[in-house]
A = this chain, B = another copy of it.
């Protein structure tokens, strides 16, 4: 999975991973790895800044969890985040459709 390939679509994936499934960063990465059969393996330098960005935008909230003695930050989708997910999903479908029609046009 190339770097530039993911660019601009990471938020959609993170929001998808958090849909109805509050989780901490590490678990989000595991979810994405699992759902993609290992194809999508986010480096930490990608994951955490992106989650912070989502929080700054109000799409997720977070709280510390100390249950296991191990410090974790649990992220949860806000209502705005859920709406953003739908919007991003629509944009993705539109984009994928455009790419298909451009690429699969008979030359």
Contacts and interface: CB of A to CB of B under 8 A. Distances in A.
Contact of A16 (B9, B39, B103): B103
Chain A contact-residue range equals 35 or more
A20 B2 CA distance: 27
Chain A binding surface, main DSSP class: helix
A4 B3 CA distance: 13
Contact of A107 (B5, B21, B94, B98): B21
Interface of A: 1-9, 12-13, 16-17, 19-21, 32, 35-37, 39-40, 89, 91-92, 94-96, 98-99, 101-103, 105, 107
Going nearest first, the 4 A-B pairs with the smallest beta carbon separation are A4-B8, A20-B107, A7-B7, A19-B107
